[in-house]
Amino acid sequence: MHLKYLSLLIVALWACGPAAPVQPPQPAQFPPREEAAVDVDALLSGLSTRDKIAQLVVPWVAGTYSAFDEDAFTRMQEWVDSLHVGGLLVSVGSPLDVAAKLNRLQERSGLPLLIASDLEAGTAIRLNGGTPFPPNMGVGATGSDSDAYQLGRITALEGRAVGIHLAFAPVADVNNNPANPIINTRSFGEDPHNVGRLVAAEIRGLQEHGMLSGAKHFPGHGDTGTDSHIALAVSNSDWGRLDSVELVPFRSAIAAGVASIMSAHIALPRIDGGQLRPGTVAPNILTGILRDSLGFKGLVVTDALNMGGVANAYGSEAGVRAFLAGADILLQPADPRTAIQSMAAAVARGEISQERLDRSVRRVLEMKRRLGLFQRRTVQLDSIPSVVGRAEFQAQAREMAARSIVMVKDVGGTVHGLRRARPSLSLVTYGDDDNRSLGNTMAAELRARGHPVSVFKLWPASGPASYDSASTMMARTGVTLFVTVDRPVPWRGMVGLPGAMVSLIETTARARPTVLVSMGNPYLITALPEVGSYLIGWRANSVTEQAVARALAGETAITGRLPISIPPGYRPGWGVQRRVP
């Protein structure tokens, strides 16, 4: 056997050996202190062209429970066993289900798998039971570098405990378009320098505790009006604007040593010679700006290749076009096998050189080496409950949620009066099917503090009869408290409350003392100037509901400040401050 193949075999067999136990949370190092003695060049030279390509393909897998003989799991195993994919993008599931699934797939893979996940603002959006932090804009409202760092630290510890290595976080977009349907609270704010400062802090928190960080969406998705999941978004920024706004946080990310950067499926015709094509397939953006101008040396990852912003125009060739533009990782293609075949055909016809292919594969293998995956690739299931959602992390999330609350206005002093008068409250909620429990914690907390509370829940499917019933209930109480969830949702294509809900809030605010609490989109008050009291809680979960209830009852301070401007008159840094007497 040739020595290079023997070397590859020895390393692969070693990597498949028994997993060492995972310790409870403790500071890890990135890169690890003791890196595996792996010869990346020898590994690379032993791979076939097709296996090199496969190392760059990262398909999506569900995180939910699967029996190992289910069809869905069999398909995942085929990607690992037959296609030899280089990694996986794992979605929502319980920590134990995610870890068990990943362990099984890692054990079957010849080379370690690089496991990624969208862990924006913590693991809770993917791991049931993960620590529920405010979204990035809520962290921006605290203005605290330490909060951003702790968000990264805890995300890293919880994510690595279940076998995730690469967090597609932080979002480095500057959200300066209130109508942006997909970024919104996912951004730290609208000031590029503040965003860059918090982005760098979260990256340090992630990478100093063993998790690769992936800043997104390059070169900036904040000033767009289209959800790129559905169609191609367009930014009209010229170079001066791009350089002074959108690129600022990415420069901060690179200076902080970010391991990867994700592309955006947005067109920049004033930068890209008038072309309406996604930056994901534009060489002058991914290579010219990101690599050459900004000097980024890490992994360039595409946004999901099955999204309408790139798939509508390029279909199965999207991966080839992105690779030629400068991408390394081809994320979530519609069909991994077809993506590999398309890349292999491009190599065969000379469109992709072996040198270019090797450059990207070497980056991937080097990241796996730095993560220590050739030493340990699986996790120990019984250690997970000592890490994910532990009390220390939950306490930090509660404190952060309390600091993030912004009181935009309290004209007439309705919020200030709640502490003294303890009036009866009508609590009217509006949320989608994912928010069935919305208002429950808040009502319980307010009742415990002496407020009689009546609750009525409205949904997207609610009709006139439901709205009439809500109005009847509100007429019987002293103060109305509206709690709404409006948030950026992929494939929805818009933000904002429905007209019937806006009308109900507007009518109520004219008739009686009314408080509006947004548990998401902060811009709602622009369409509701009649509302005298407006608070932003940023995210719908029990932790935030508890924090808002305590703030309303006057038990805790309100110290958050807007990280964005809210038309027509609220500027960044604004916030009615209230101290605890």
Give the gyration radius of the chain's Cα atoms. Answer: 25
Backbone angles phi, psi at 116, to 5 degrees: -120, 160
Beta-strand ranges (E) seen in 178-243 are: 212-218, 233-234
Residue 556 CA to residue 345 CA, distance in Å, equals 63
| Spatial distance between the Cα atoms of 102 and 244, rounded to a whole number of angstroms | 41
CB 199 within 8 A of CB 215: yes
Which residues share a beta bridge with 282?
Answer: none
What are the residues whose beta carbons fall under 8 Å from the beta carbon of 158, sequence distance 6 or more? 95, 122, 123, 127, 130, 131, 387, 388, 389, 393
Are 453 and 447 in contact, with CB atoms under 8 Å apart?
A: yes
Q: Helix, strand, or coil here: 548?
A: helix
- CA separation (Å) from 257 to 122, 143, 299, 315, 326? 20, 22, 12, 33, 19
**452 within 8 A of 191, measured Cβ to Cβ:** no
- Whether residue 181 contacts residue 488, with contact meaning beta carbons closer than 8 Å, is answered with yes
CA angle at 353 for the pair 218 and 307, rounded to the nearest 5°: 35
Helix (H, G, I), strand (E, B) or coil at 271: coil
- For every residue of 522-536, DSSP letters joined together read GGGGGG-TT-SEEEE
Q: What share of the chain is helix, strand, coil (3-state, %, to 5)?
A: 45, 15, 45
Least Cα distance to 303 among 332, 269, 328, 283 occurs for 332
Catalytic residue chosen out of the listed positions 173, 303, 328, 410 = 303
Task: List 61's β-bridge partners, or say none.
Answer: 90
CB-facing half-sphere around the CA of 360: CA atoms within 13 A: 28
- Active site includes 303? yes
Q: Are 153 and 456 in contact (CB under 8 A)?
A: no
Catalytic center residues: 303
